[in-house]
Structure 1
Amino acid sequence: MTNAPSVGSSSVGSLPFGILIVDDEPNIRSGLAKGLADDGRVIDTAGDADEALAKFAKNAHPLVIVDVRLNCGVTGIELLTQMVHDRPGTCVIVITAHGTVETAVEAMRAGAFDFVLKPVDLNLVRQQVRRAQDHYELWLENQQLRNQLAESGELSNIVASGAAMEDVFRQIRQVAGTQATVMIHGESGTGKELVARALHDLSEQSANAFVPVNLGALPETLLESELFGHEKGSFSGATRQKPGCFERAVGGTLFLDEVTEMSAKSQVDLLRVLETGQFNRVGGEELLHSDARVISATNRSVENLVEENDFREDLYYRLNVIPVVVPPLRNRRDNIPLLVEHFLEHFCARHSREPKQVSPAAMQRLTDASWPGNVRQLRNVIERMVITTPGDTIHEGELPAELTRVKAVDSALPPSLAEAVEACEKSTIEAALAVCDLHRERTAKALGVSVRTLHYKMGRYGLR
């Protein structure tokens, strides 16, 4: 091993940046080692797969440079696949004298960071190494942040507090490290995608892709191609091969938003992938595999859709292994001041405005509003106020008129039928829980509903 002066821009934390060069040609190994041994790097070399794996296991090598063809019965692609599996976050640059598109695609699918052709251009390799260092240091920083968040019990991308959201946080922490499918239930604008991202960020797949797709925004004719990809010429307009969401999410997480908007045929196709992990691109015969974890979300009552035969029961059970219910903003009003402060800071910075605050009367008005659009609506209101209010304080009279009207109407008229039904349902569930000593199975039986339905209703009304 060649030791270089320690700790420059290429160091990770207090350790020098380690590179392992794997090639069966001694001249290439020594040339690369000499050309890259600067800026505080530590260079190690190996002539075959066994030596490479032994040194990789013993020493920290954030970056591996490996030849595709090794005279040892193991290919460089097989070696990189094992290394990336054993130590997530490792960057691998593949060197090949056989620069075909197929080789490049195979290497990138196996987890390669980049590839370079022989004869090796040392300046190009130096550039790739610098990019790999930046990529690894960012990955390492994210990992350390995730560990801190997991230890502190906080979720960085979700701004919330209080009892109504604590159950959501608890569930995220419990299931993030598993491969179980999760279905997130909640009204539009409650932050279901943020929950999905938190599940991904705290999972072992966090270094890989998080691929969101809104199924409700796609016409039926494009949905199959979006999910599974298509081959060139498979339909009019298919001018090139395109990988689908399942393919792009290999090793990571696929988030299916508005999953209940799928057609009957698409539901069958999705069920097949969930059961077998296999699929074909549109117009293709090759059987592809995906180990992507699937998280779905819906703002509709799936049980009602199942009863009406609008959603497959077997698919529902596949997707809803772990249900997570995100309560609406009106059931967690104690979150509103916290969210307001967060959005004020965010949008003042985004739109280059001086810091603003909300007057006590305005904050009370925001807290009292009904927020049918949930957090998304609140976010939009605060952004509008940051842009349009001239001073450093947002006053009650400057708030949108619809918020003012909501409170005036609410105080003058009785609740709507829907609100009256919800209030009655909530009080009935509360009474049944009290009679049954909070035992959910007995409560569900007494109310004549399933435990799953009871769980959903309790989350909706913040009864935890």
Structure 2
Amino acid sequence: MSSEPFAVLIVDDEPNIRSGLAKGLAGEADVVKTAGDADDALDQFTKGSFQLVIADVRLSSSMTGIELLEKIRYLRPSTAVIVITAHGTVETAVEAMRAGAFDFVLKPIDLNLIRQQVRKAREYYQLRVENRQLRTQLAGAGQVSEIIGNGAAMQAVFQQIRQVAATEATVLVQGESGTGKELIARALHDLSDRSRGPFIAVNLGAMPENLLESELFGHEKGSFSGASRQKPGCFEQAAGGTLFLDEVTEMSAKSQVDLLRVLESRVFTRVGGEERIETDVRIVSATNRSVHELIEEGVFREDLFYRLNVIPIEVPPLRARREDIPLLVEHFLEQFCKRHSRDPKQLSPAAMQTLVSSNWPGNVRQLRNMIERLVVTHSGDVIHHDELPAELTRAPSPANKSIVPLAEAVEACERETIAAVLNAYDLHRDKTAKALGISVRTLHYKMSRYNLH
């Protein structure tokens, strides 16, 4: 059970109702606060921690109770909202429940009934907290889902995952190929309240444009040659769960428009169909490319980027988290020895040092594949340095000792150039961006990336 107090915020523009509810619910909650309008309610809500909000539909303020409900659900989806209305039409009740209301009551208020609803909301909240705590305990200190890492870089990623998982916000995972972006998406799903729903992953980069629309939204029987039956798309298959869109920057211009329309309206139709289908999915997308550069080039839509990038998560390359390599090696050795029915194996200190000092352009995927190869082909208990693949042990020629991977050299040059121009213009960003021939937005992004502040 959570140690956090169960706090209720009552929102009504009638003082008598506010005070009456506050007194009547004092025994059902640890903290009871009141607000006379939506603006005051949002101010208290963002500054405090409330597990339940009870709001009147008709408020004499800048927004209705339904609009307040939608804002609360966006800011903190785990908060339950009970809607009160004196206008007990079916339409009002349906609108409230569609907007995510936990329940609704009619005026005049039956205090015993609303107490029962508050108890239900409290039990529901406590169950969610206990489930989340259990999932976090199972995750372990050095691991979230299948992602492994004890270093500072990955611990920061783990912290982001734990903070974001419980929300409905869309997430854009960025990182080089082989860094484990799909594992991040799965961890977000596993630690979320959607974990019992499906996790559907689709690689947009591997999908021909003429098939992508059908893959995402489904199609009706006879809608095109070969459509012999109705087929649900990924948005339907992922209902109640998470849809992972990998290589999202590889979509065509038309596909980007189609996706943006669904993200904005939460409604789609199957190819060849007319039925409007509401979607209930959490979107996590990923890319190994610089989205800001693609936007500058006119290849990727800026408005779609903002829809996908509500929460950005940057996955570091393996060369930036070398301290995690021994932990990963041990994990993969154990995994593949069991899978291939081999006796337990270990690396000699010299072999481990070689792996730690290597650059790993293919990142964790490359390391994983290499360890599996060693497990399958090596017969002894200890894998020595001279038994590692030649590409890892080959000494560089004297002329090549200073060679570094091209990506690292380009990044280092770019960082030095931006820093020099910033200093030349006394950190004036508009002048710096103009001198570099890039937009101020791109400059801000690169300054953040290279810690130039």
Q: One fold, TM greater than 0.5?
A: yes
Aligned to 1:316: 305
Task: Find 2:372's aligned residue among 374, 380, 383.
Answer: 383
Q: How much does 1:305 deviate?
A: 0.9
Q: How much does 1:232 deviate?
A: 1.1
- SS of the residue corresponding to residue 243 of structure 1 reads coil
Aligned to 1:242: 231
Does 2:328 correspond to 1:328?
Answer: no
Summarize the Cα distance change of 1:457–1:210 in structure 2 as closer, same or farther, 3 Å threshold: farther
Aligned to 1:217: 206
- SS of the residue corresponding to residue 324 of structure 1 reads strand
Does 2:412 correspond to 1:423?
Answer: yes
* Contact map agreement 1:369 1:403 (CA 8 A) in 2: yes
Aligned to 2:177: 188
Q: Deviations over 1:206-244 (max 9, x none)?
A: 110111100011111111111000111111111111110
Aligned to 1:292: 281
Summarize the Cα distance change of 1:337–1:198 in structure 2 as closer, same or farther, 3 Å threshold: same
Aligned CA-pair RMSD: 3.7
* Contact map agreement 1:347 1:386 (CA 8 A) in 2: yes
Q: How much does 1:150 deviate?
A: 6.6
- SS of the residue corresponding to residue 272 of structure 1 reads helix
Aligned to 1:156: 145
* Contact map agreement 1:227 1:244 (CA 8 A) in 2: yes
* Contact map agreement 2:220 2:270 (CA 8 A) in 1: yes
Summarize the Cα distance change of 1:153–1:397 in structure 2 as closer, same or farther, 3 Å threshold: closer
Summarize the Cα distance change of 1:420–1:147 in structure 2 as closer, same or farther, 3 Å threshold: closer
Q: How much does 1:444 deviate?
A: 7.2
Q: How much does 1:156 deviate?
A: 2.9
CA distance in 1, matches of 2:151, 2:399: 25
Equivalent positions of 1:36-435 (< 5 A) are 145-149=134-138, 154-405=143-394, 412-415=401-404, 418-426=407-415
Q: Deviations over 1:348-374 (max 9, x none)?
A: 001110000001111111111111100
- Amino acid aligned to 1:284: G
* Contact map agreement 1:232 1:241 (CA 8 A) in 2: yes
* Contact map agreement 1:176 1:202 (CA 8 A) in 2: yes
Summarize the Cα distance change of 1:344–1:153 in structure 2 as closer, same or farther, 3 Å threshold: closer
- SS of the residue corresponding to residue 242 of structure 1 reads coil
CA distance in 1, matches of 2:158, 2:428: 24
Q: How much does 1:414 deviate?
A: 3.5
- Amino acid aligned to 1:162: G
CA distance in 2, matches of 1:401, 1:329: 20
* Contact map agreement 1:227 1:246 (CA 8 A) in 2: yes
Identity of aligned residues (%): 65
* Contact map agreement 1:370 1:406 (CA 8 A) in 2: no
Q: State the TM-score, normalizing by the size of structure 2.
A: 0.64
Q: State the TM-score, normalizing by the size of structure 1.
A: 0.63
Summarize the Cα distance change of 1:151–1:367 in structure 2 as closer, same or farther, 3 Å threshold: closer
- SS of the residue corresponding to residue 285 of structure 1 reads coil
Q: Deviations over 1:98-156 (max 9, x none)?
A: xxxxxxxxxxxxxxxxxxxxxxxxxxxxxxxxxxxxxxxxxxx9877414247968513
* Contact map agreement 2:292 2:442 (CA 8 A) in 1: no
* Contact map agreement 2:205 2:246 (CA 8 A) in 1: yes
- Amino acid aligned to 2:299: D
CA distance in 2, matches of 1:385, 1:462: 39
CA distance in 1, matches of 2:397, 2:385: 14
* Contact map agreement 2:326 2:356 (CA 8 A) in 1: yes
CA distance in 2, matches of 1:215, 1:406: 39
Summarize the Cα distance change of 1:351–1:305 in structure 2 as closer, same or farther, 3 Å threshold: same
Alignment gaps of 5+ in structure 2: 1-93, 103-129, 434-438
- Amino acid aligned to 2:189: H
Summarize the Cα distance change of 1:196–1:237 in structure 2 as closer, same or farther, 3 Å threshold: same
Q: How much does 1:167 deviate?
A: 2.1
Summarize the Cα distance change of 1:164–1:314 in structure 2 as closer, same or farther, 3 Å threshold: same
- SS of the residue corresponding to residue 297 of structure 1 reads strand
- SS of the residue corresponding to residue 212 of structure 1 reads strand
Summarize the Cα distance change of 1:443–1:160 in structure 2 as closer, same or farther, 3 Å threshold: farther
Q: How much does 1:335 deviate?
A: 1.0
Alignment gaps of 5+ in structure 1: 1-77, 87-140, 435-441
Summarize the Cα distance change of 1:443–1:150 in structure 2 as closer, same or farther, 3 Å threshold: farther
CA distance in 2, matches of 1:392, 1:410: 37
- Amino acid aligned to 1:148: Q
Summarize the Cα distance change of 1:374–1:170 in structure 2 as closer, same or farther, 3 Å threshold: same
CA distance in 1, matches of 2:398, 2:271: 53
- Amino acid aligned to 1:253: T
Summarize the Cα distance change of 1:160–1:179 in structure 2 as closer, same or farther, 3 Å threshold: same
CA distance in 2, matches of 1:163, 1:265: 40
Summarize the Cα distance change of 1:269–1:146 in structure 2 as closer, same or farther, 3 Å threshold: same
Summarize the Cα distance change of 1:243–1:366 in structure 2 as closer, same or farther, 3 Å threshold: same
CA distance in 2, matches of 1:350, 1:143: 31
* Contact map agreement 1:432 1:443 (CA 8 A) in 2: no
Aligned to 1:7: none
